Amino acid sequence: MAIRDILIHPDDKLREIAKEVEFPLSDDVKQLIQDLADTMYDAPGVGLASTQIGVPFRVAVTDILWRSEEVRHDSDEAGGKRDLKVWINPEFVWKSDEMASWEEGCLSVPEQYANVSRPAAVRLRWFDEEGTQHEADFEGFQAVALQHEFDHLDGKLFIDYLSPLKRRMITNKMKKLFKQGN
């Protein structure tokens, strides 16, 4: 178990474009996947992309059950339930024209939230840890979480969808937070 430091905006590494992962997975990539999961659960969050810990590979993890309304991770009802998903070399093959707005936050932009409009449904192609390719449709919060995490792999943050004024205000807050932490 290794908890990694999560990069905080405006760290330039968050803007790196991630590289495709080759199969079979190296031991380093297998360890990266485990570290991503451990770090996400520790934070706690519903997703984490490798670029958020400074590793520019096309790998992300999500677990929307972990933080869902029905099963809170810090409650007795959770009973340790987890639904970890590993996404390697993900690509959207379709996005709906219908849009949906959700309040988003980000582990790399702590304590900042804003409504972001994204396609309401998506079709995704990705690989699992064994190198098997999958394709499936997602909607609702799962679609939002996937788009949010995979934006990270392309060097984008949820604040990029906000007005320039709102984005600048959040960036200034993060710069102050960064200065206080160093």
Query: Does 6 reside within a domain?
Result: no
CB 121 within 8 A of CB 146: no
Structure tokens at 180: 């206080």
Q: Give how many domains the chain has, as a whole number.
A: 1
Query: Does 58 reside within a domain?
Result: yes
pLDDT at 82 over 90: no
> DSSP labels for 118-169?
EESEEEEEEE-TTS-EEEEEEEHHHHHHHHHHHHHHTT--GGGGS-HHHHHH
Is 152 annotated as belonging to a binding site?
yes
CB 123 within 8 A of CB 19: no
Is 73 annotated as belonging to a binding site?
no
Query: Does 3 reside within a domain?
Result: no
Average pLDDT over residues 71-100: 78
Radius of gyration of the chain (CA): 16
* Residue range(s) defining the domain that contains residue 147: 12-181
Is 134 annotated as belonging to a binding site?
no
Q: What is the pLDDT of residues 123-157, one digit of tens each?
A: 999 999 999 999 999 999 999 999 999 999 999 99
Q: What is the pLDDT of residues 42-58, one digit of tens each?
A: 999 999 999 999 999 99
CATH code for position 151: 3.90.45.10
Position 100 scores a pLDDT of: 95
Query: Does 7 reside within a domain?
Result: no
